[in-house]
Amino acid sequence: MASVEGRVVSENHPGSAPRANRGLTANVIQVALTGGASGIGLEAAKLLSERGAILSIADVNQQGLDDALKAIKGNKHIATAVDVRDGAQVKDWIGKTVQQFGRLDSGVNLAGVARMQAPITEGTDDDWDFMMGVNGKGVFHCMREQLKHMKNGGSIVNAASIQGMVGCANTSIYAASKSVVISLTKSVAREVGPRNIRVNCIAPGVVKTPLLDPFEKGGQKVPTTMQCFDRQAHPIEIARVIAFLVSDEASYITGSNYPVDGGTTA
């Protein structure tokens, strides 16, 4: 028992702080993670599993999911092919996840797409629908279903981008889709705070993932000169921040957007 502003509360009271340094290891947590077949999602899945989480990973790439399961520590994880643009698929995936795991403690929504850089005058309706569908609507679908199964306590981490924070020429549609993620994150954090659920997002800079492959193969150089570090991030450097935000070590952090950008927004 502890005294807080003249009140005596239990250490396990939803409004009290968890014990320091619990991390992910004090209790096994059940995590639903999208984008788990490659890049940041795969590194986050591997790191979370190493720290004791049991994972339900989703991606549109079935072969990538099969390979991911082999790379992730442990044998209790499950993988499901899901197109996050389809609300019915997401609902079915989360429902089956909870049915198998018994509960859901955390959502890590990392599925994302980008297309070649171009001025807005060359953008197409399909570009808009595709990027908004995966990056924006996909996060909406995932949070909607995840939060239905988080009754009292939990955490969600969404993938935004520094391009959702500042103006970015020739990537206006992608930037707009990531600003949607930031706004959704902040608004939903206020909705579910009374249920002791935390909602945050990360805003990576330039990260060496398959998302960059079409740009580099198309001869478009992805600049790093605006960063304090003149290099691309490795996905594990982003995954470490995700693992922190999922853990109880981030127990008083919600509604926040974390730039992990090598100082681009400094």
**Which active-site residues does the annotation give?**
174, 178
CA distance 58 to 106: 14
**Are 33 and 48 within 8 A, CB to CB?**
yes
Residue 134's CB is within 10 A of a number of other CB atoms, namely 21
C-alpha dist (Å) from residue 163 to 177, 190, 259: 9, 23, 10
CA distance 80 to 89: 10
**Are 24 and 53 within 8 A, CB to CB?**
yes
Q: Which is it for strands 257-260 and 154-159: parallel, antiparallel or unpaired? A: unpaired
